[in-house]
Structure 1
């Protein structure tokens, strides 16, 4: 790559960190940068982030850092992804009215889900949206906002999400991708791929659909960098900006999971699943949504607390060590313990659980604890608990006849192979990986190239170099096959207790 050759800028705002990357049109990495940040939990079940301080603030810092020593004229396209679906109300000037309300880990709208299912008919909502109302759905969170913060609601002029807010700050246009739009249910019609009047009043009352952004595909051009955004970021005004998407879909693109039958498993703060399909297979346990590219559909699912669980354990059980060393120590200790963690079993539901049980009142449970168990056993049990949860989701996909041809792993949890091996042993499924595993920001760079008109969809495969797959150990699988029914029973038998405790 020559010094003046064109580059693509990808930005991803995650739950606990933001990442940016400059990539050549040929897929080679020019520069990358990461910023850590936090979430806010102002009340039980409420999970938020500041849109300007975290989302837009991190984006500006990433861009300026990546452009150090790089002529902005070399950047021919920009794309952003972010945690999602999130809810952010904006006033008439486009300024945030409150912190953004996060995706399915925020469970505040349980009463609104119950009320909408009762008033509208649970079956009718599912038939309209191809999904059931869960904590992932934005419609009930909009209703929560209307009911609990009426003064703020009266000032709201736009309802947007994290990736769309970044695009707005860069281009001045409010636009949302179809994958995210589907989660704004029941306001989105997956058949027409437009906002729908059918259940508008149940969500927006007397307000209109003009509160919502335009809809487009992730790789379409949203607009160009404005003079104001250029002054704040250092980008050249007029640079094309893609519509972008949620982080999970960008992660899928980053490892080439774009063909029918490709299933991406994202090991992040939460575990997310994206299966590319030729036609939707709706089921109340999971989510049927739009894909990245025109006409595509995805079957998606997501767990509530996975990487967040390992982070919590590192923070609480290895406080004497810096974060990186804490992870290294805990994974090393877990690797020395046999499958089954010497009789420990953990439900990883510390933030409730999303798919396939969709229970915001679920809680973490540790069963079988004795005085002989160590923190290494607890960490092993946590990794195995997530693995059992992944198996539960894969079984839900299989039950509804979804065609999975290959599984591709990506995300921070793929570093090292301990966790991946545990999951392959539990599920009996081989997991492919890519040599470049930067995650969503790398997928964003490809979307930037699409929006700029310098890349065709089929060129993504030139960017992806496969790594050695993780193959199941069948002896370990036999152990896990005996434990998996106990894992499923543990939730059933403790549900009433943890539901009472969650109050």
Structure 2
């Protein structure tokens, strides 16, 4: 590396900023919370929080010569002819357009899933736009420009150029994945010809910081700005890089197993996100309640017990139960907002610690469905996020996945770190090593319990299909 680099990640709860020196070492961090209400955020709040997060990095931001941007994807930001937002941004997770999903399928036809390479649901941009057509037609009529991710909005504020990276675009339901361009059928049907941003691969300079924006945000005027891939791919870049067939597990409130693969069809409920390199994609199996389900199970079945004490108590072998961790619907291995959690196999001798452990196993079984379905290199799998602190959960993962695992220390800024890597690649500079490649990993190998879990895997896979009619009839 030859210069100092800054990176900004617009997360759902906060904007994070990083400052890297010319050796690629993280020198400073900043964080500023972003308020949310009913699945919406003000785009102006992203800008204000980015200014605050960079300010917290200290006076050395004046030495920055390159900026990378990433953030939450699949948002809907509607801008008027005066360059002001017409309404708060509708976030990626907002399911308000559930009633318009059928209309979107009818409008776009049976080729929608095939063209986009992803199963579409109420969070897709076509469904959200149809929701606006029904509920806020005046705002939709006044919309002259649309942003599909928070980082794209920041890039426009900084450079004046309207862009969307391919990763974010591939999450929207508007991109023709095989051709890596906006899908003409959707563009025509939704009259988006003038409103959509230009597509960039995620490793391209989109412009330089204008004098006005430089004064506001505190960075030097004229430095290059790179719109890096959306947060899921930037996180992957930061943890494991973009090597084919390599993956990792994230255990936060939600959780996922993500694997870099060649471009190929994916399991129906998995997310397919394009990488900057042609022929590569990130396949994500996202469990909506991972750490949330584990925390609920510990609080409910082992009230008052610390995580370490609960893990020690439950470290007695497989629970013998089958659990669905889907407390608020599910995204993988099925995508269904009406699925709920379940515990199967309880007897009069079942202990509370078994009930707790069963939820950890349920998350691991969901990840195993993806690992069995896509090519991977068989190497040890890094585990990150708050749940990675649990030795028991790591052991369960190793046994269920039948794969060595190891914890990797990352922070909330890992997506920003990945954005910095993409920015450095865009200007042809050297890049720092992924975080999982640093130090000697504490590898945990599968034990004899893997045989018991292998017997339960097919039974667990059948639960969603078997219980879905029951859950739907309860609504």
Normalising by structure 2, report the TM-score. Answer: 0.86
Change (3 A) 1:17 1:343: farther
| Aligned-partner Cα distance in 1 for 2:354–2:145 | 48
Compute the displacement of 1:403 (Å): 4.2
Moved more, 486-495 or 155-164: 486-495
Moved more, 14-23 or 432-441: 432-441
Residues 278-332 of structure 1 show CA distances to partners (whole Å, capped at 9, x for unaligned) of 3333553333332034564333332222244456678989998xxxxx9xx2354
Residues 436-485 of structure 1 show CA distances to partners (whole Å, capped at 9, x for unaligned) of 5552121122123234x25246x646994154154343223233334434
Alignment counterpart, residue 167 of structure 1, candidates 152, 155, 164 = 155
Compute the displacement of 1:144 (Å): 2.3
Compute the displacement of 1:210 (Å): 1.9
Aligned residues of 2:240 and 2:247 also touching (Cα < 8 A)? no
Alignment match, 2:416: 441
| Aligned-partner Cα distance in 2 for 1:240–1:311 | 43
Aligned residues of 1:225 and 1:240 also touching (Cα < 8 A)? yes
Alignment match, 2:12: 15
Aligned residues of 1:63 and 1:233 also touching (Cα < 8 A)? yes
Moved more, 356-365 or 299-308: 299-308
| Aligned-partner Cα distance in 2 for 1:444–1:314 | 35
User: Is the aligned partner of 1:468 residue 2:441?
Assistant: yes
User: Is the aligned partner of 1:380 residue 2:371?
Assistant: no
Change (3 A) 1:388 1:36: farther
Change (3 A) 1:405 1:98: farther
Compute the displacement of 1:180 (Å): 1.2
Alignment match, 1:351: 328
CA RMSD in angstroms comes to: 3.3
User: What are the within-5 Å matches in structure 2 for residues 314-463 of structure 1?
Assistant: 329-338=306-315, 342=319, 345-367=322-344, 379-397=356-374, 402-406=375-379, 407-432=381-406, 434=408, 438-451=413-426, 453=427, 455-456=429-430, 460=433
| Aligned-partner Cα distance in 2 for 1:390–1:301 | 7
Moved more, 255-264 or 307-316: 307-316
User: Is the aligned partner of 1:52 residue 2:44?
Assistant: yes
Aligned residues of 2:319 and 2:357 also touching (Cα < 8 A)? no
Compute the displacement of 1:254 (Å): 0.5
| Aligned-partner Cα distance in 1 for 2:21–2:211 | 25
Compute the displacement of 1:65 (Å): 0.2
Report the secondary structure of 1:173's partner residue: coil
Moved more, 433-442 or 190-199: 433-442
Gaps of 5+ in 1: 321-325
Alignment match, 1:153: 140
Alignment match, 1:128: 115
User: What are the within-5 Å matches in structure 2 for residues 153-232 of structure 1?
Assistant: 153-160=140-147, 161-185=149-173, 187-202=174-189, 204=190, 207-232=191-216
Alignment match, 2:269: 285
Compute the displacement of 1:75 (Å): 0.9
Aligned residues of 1:178 and 1:290 also touching (Cα < 8 A)? yes
Aligned residues of 1:251 and 1:410 also touching (Cα < 8 A)? no
Residues 399-445 of structure 1 show CA distances to partners (whole Å, capped at 9, x for unaligned) of xxx34444443334334544333222221122355555552121122
Compute the displacement of 1:496 (Å): 1.9
Compute the displacement of 1:253 (Å): 0.6
Aligned residues of 2:98 and 2:122 also touching (Cα < 8 A)? yes
Report the secondary structure of 1:391's partner residue: helix
Alignment counterpart, residue 81 of structure 1, candidates 31, 46, 70 = 70
Alignment counterpart, residue 63 of structure 1, candidates 54, 64, 73 = 54
Alignment match, 1:93: 82
Aligned residues of 1:435 and 1:466 also touching (Cα < 8 A)? no
Alignment counterpart, residue 479 of structure 1, candidates 434, 439, 452 = 452
Change (3 A) 1:282 1:436: closer
Alignment match, 2:472: 499
Alignment match, 2:461: 488
User: What are the within-5 Å matches in structure 2 for residues 252-291 of structure 1?
Assistant: 252-291=236-275
Alignment counterpart, residue 108 of structure 1, candidates 77, 82, 96 = 96
Aligned residues of 1:421 and 1:470 also touching (Cα < 8 A)? no
Alignment match, 1:323: none
Compute the displacement of 1:29 (Å): 1.6
User: What are the within-5 Å matches in structure 2 for residues 290-305 of structure 1?
Assistant: 290-293=274-277, 296-305=280-289
| Aligned-partner Cα distance in 1 for 2:85–2:301 | 37
Alignment match, 2:127: 140
